[in-house]
Amino acid sequence: MNFDFSEEQNLLIDTTKAFVKEELLQHEELLEKTNNLPKELYDEIKKKSIEAGLYACNMPVEHGGGGSPNGPGKKWNVDNRNRHESIQQSGTKGGDDGKCKQ
Domain membership flag for residue 74: yes
Domain membership flag for residue 95: no
Instruction: Return mean pLDDT, the chain.
Output: 75
Q: How far apart are CA 44 and CA 50, in angstroms?
A: 10
* Structure confidence at residue 84 (pLDDT): 52
Residue 19 has pLDDT above 50, yes or no: yes
Domain membership flag for residue 2: no
Domain membership flag for residue 96: no
Q: How far apart are CA 50 and CA 81, in angstroms?
A: 14
Tally of structural domains, the chain: 1
Domain membership flag for residue 98: no
Range of the domain at 57: 7-90
Under 8 Å between Cβ of 67 and 75: yes
Domain membership flag for residue 97: no
Domain membership flag for residue 55: yes
* Structure confidence at residue 64 (pLDDT): 73
* Structure confidence at residue 99 (pLDDT): 39
Domain membership flag for residue 48: yes
| SS3 state of residue 6 | coil
Residue 75 has pLDDT above 50, yes or no: no
